[in-house]
A and B are shown apart, each in its own frame.
Chain A
Amino acid sequence: MKQVYCRPESLKDNANSYCPGCGHGIVHRIVAEVIDELGVREKTIGIAPVGCAVFAYDYWNFDVTEAPHGRPPAVACAIKRVLPDRVVFTYQGDGDLASIGTNEIIHSANRSDNITVIFINNANYGMTGGQMAPTTLPGMKTTTTQNGRDVKVSGYPVRVCELLATLEGTRYLERVMVTDPANINKAKKAIKKAFQAQLDRKGFSLVEVLSPCPVNWGKSPLDGLKFVKEEMTKYFKLGVIKDETVQSQA
């Protein structure tokens, strides 16, 4: 028999602590596959967030560092300046990137730091038990919006890709989801393109991944996928928001 698929080398053979059906598991895996396919495992340095993926270094089989909450883009910027030929990426959730870390992501994008950012958008703060995130949808119930998010009190969901697109330093921004085989393939393609952009020294790239959080949403995994596909996409449009990887100079 011929092997068609097995665990990528860049993914350690450890059980992960994510909930059943969590999008993190899928995205960790496809990031690992991309790193293997590009042959850069031995020169990759990842920066883990504070969030459910705080233990990402237990799952990825390459150098990974912790960073204070929200600060991965600053940490990544510096690592890339010190070691410009390494592949440096951050992996961040809604709180890390779009709340406490908003200043860092904006300025990293503005500097066009030659790094890759994987942004996991599951519309809540997973690790701390399901509080409102900047990406929580209007009307969505969370532990800090128990009657549903009221935009008069808490403002509106933040569309990170569109926000960053206004900055001249951003080169490639795409929003994807991991809800079904076709979309997982698209997500993987986008992630590969973002890493390739770094290898080609194009500048700052970010892939936003709409991801299920079944437990905090109070849904089964399959219903979680449905929520991403049918509800989240109403607010967060899928597709390429910005792509200057062709024109931009190395």
Chain B
Amino acid sequence: MPERKIKIDKERCKGCLYCIEFCPRKSLVVGKGSNARGYAFVEINDEGKCTSCAICALMCPEAAIEVRKDK
């Protein structure tokens, strides 16, 4: 599986929507499923638009987001 720019731990996500709200590229969306705790977790919508600015990780209260950058 290739490395992704954004890795969201879907089981940690509580669907607060902070990352979606502040992503400058609108790369994140609420996913279709819910996790084990019943939250609709966030997923990356368009990895191509992501610039690895890490604002999503900055906003996340769960530290559920890991960010990588293309070298």
Contact = CB atoms under 8 A, between A and B. Distances in A.
Contacts of A7: 63, 66
B58 A181 contact: yes
A22 to B, nearest CB: 6
Contact of B59 (A3, A22, A181): A181
A182 to B, nearest CB: 10
Interface residues of B, number: 30
A21 B16 contact: yes
Contacts of B58: 5, 181, 184-185
A1 B61 contact: no
B62 interface: yes
B68 A2 contact: yes
A1 B65 contact: no
Say whether chain A's binding surface is mostly helix, strand, loop, or mixed: mixed
Interface string A105-122: 000000000000000000
Chain A interface bracket (under 10, 10 to 19, 20 to 34, 35 or more): 20 to 34
Contacts of A222: 16-18, 21
Contacts of A26: 59-61
Interface string B30-71: 000000010100000000000010110111111101111111
At the interface, is chain B mostly helix, strand, loop or mixed? Answer: loop
Contacts of B16: 20-21, 214, 221-222
A202 interface: no
Contacts of A71: none
B66 A21 contact: no
Contact of A16 (B21, B55, B62, B68): B62
Contacts of B52: 4
Q: Of residues B3, B5, B63, which shows the largest number of chain A Cβ atoms within 10 Å of its Cβ?
A: B63
Contact of A3 (B17, B63, B68): B68
Contact of B14 (A4, A6, A8, A21): A21
Nearest to A18: B61
A29 B71 CA distance: 26
Nearest to A32: B63
Contact of A4 (B15, B17, B59, B68): B68
Contacts of A25: 60-63
**Closest 3 interchain pairs by CB?**
A25-B61, A21-B16, A20-B14
Interface of B: 3, 5, 11-12, 14-18, 21-22, 37, 39, 52, 54-55, 57-63, 65-71
14 contacts: A1-B68, A1-B69, A4-B69, A5-B67, A18-B61, A26-B61, A180-B22, A184-B59, A220-B17, A221-B16, A222-B16, A222-B17, A222-B18, A225-B18
